[in-house]
């Protein structure tokens, strides 16, 4: 459930009191353990923690206008969510996080882990072992996170090289060249057609004149015959 709030403070004001307290408590854990270079703000309709463009100009490969996501906190319709991109795809960090949560659950300090690839769902603050979350956040400094992210993107080929954009220019030139060639060919055809028309017209003109002369001669012959008949 995405919010239209543009600031974290506005987002928190929208929440019911119990959820606001839970999100604020987790927010304190995040801010306490985040390494230098990360930033808090609204992202994708929730409270986000990300690598700003000032640190990583390329941004998120799915949408370069967005800063690189690191983690997030959200209030959904039926539960609250904790997004941990910092453990997604990093087996060592994920395993430590899962084991830490399971140990806390066994001690009665947390509820059984309900986790997707990088999303942890919970209904109340008591379900979450705050120390385990804090340690997971602290283990991934900005530099290490960017290096891991770029290695994954490079292997998957998800980000298109910037050089491909420049490839459009030669294509445009080729297209222009084709159009120019097409125009020349059309001009040549038109010129040839006009020349052929002139030749045909030139041939028709003498033929027409000759036909006219023959007709005139016939008329003159008939007239002469009529006169001779009258005289006789």
Considering the entire predicted model, what is its pTM? 0.67
Token pair listed for 32: 């306490």
pLDDT score, position 130: 98
More confident residue, 206 or 104: 104
pLDDT class of 232 with cuts at 50, 70, 90 = very low
Model confidence over 28-82: pLDDT tens digits?
Answer: 999 999 999 999 999 999 999 999 999 999 999 999 999 999 999 999 999 999 9
pLDDT score, position 164: 44
Give the strand pairing for 46-51 and 68-75. Answer: antiparallel
Cα 99 to Cα 122: distance, rounded to the nearest angstrom:
17
pLDDT score, position 52: 98
Cα 169 to Cα 175: distance, rounded to the nearest angstrom:
10
**pLDDT at 176 > cutoff 60:** no
Over residues 11-38, mean pLDDT: 97
């Amino acid at each position: 459930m995405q919010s239209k709030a543009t600031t974290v403070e506005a987002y928190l004001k929208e929440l019911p009191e119990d959820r606001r307290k839970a999100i604020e408590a987790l927010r304190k854990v995040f801010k306490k353990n985040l390494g230098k270079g990360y930033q808090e703000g609204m992202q994708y309709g929730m409270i986000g923690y990300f690598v700003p463009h000032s640190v990583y100009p390329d941004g998120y490969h799915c949408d370069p206008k967005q800063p690189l996501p690191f983690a997030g906190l959200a209030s959904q319709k039926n539960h609250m969510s904790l997004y941990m991109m910092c453990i997604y795809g990093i087996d060592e960090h994920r395993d430590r996080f899962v084991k830490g949560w399971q140990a806390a659950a066994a001690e009665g300090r947390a509820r059984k882990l309900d986790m997707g690839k990088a999303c942890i769902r919970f209904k109340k603050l008591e379900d979450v072992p705050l120390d385990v979350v804090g340690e997971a956040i602290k283990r991934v400094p900005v530099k290490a996170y960017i290096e891991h992210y770029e290695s994954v993107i490079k292997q998957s080929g998800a980000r298109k090289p910037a050089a491909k954009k420049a490839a459009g220019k030669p294509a445009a030139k080729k297209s222009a060249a084709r159009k120019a060639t097409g125009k020349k060919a059309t001009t040549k055809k038109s010129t040839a057609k006009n020349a052929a028309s002139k030749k045909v017209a030139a041939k028709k003109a003498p033929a027409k004149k000759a036909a006219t002369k023959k007709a005139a001669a016939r008329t003159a012959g008939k007239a002469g015959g009529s006169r001779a008949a009258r005289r006789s």
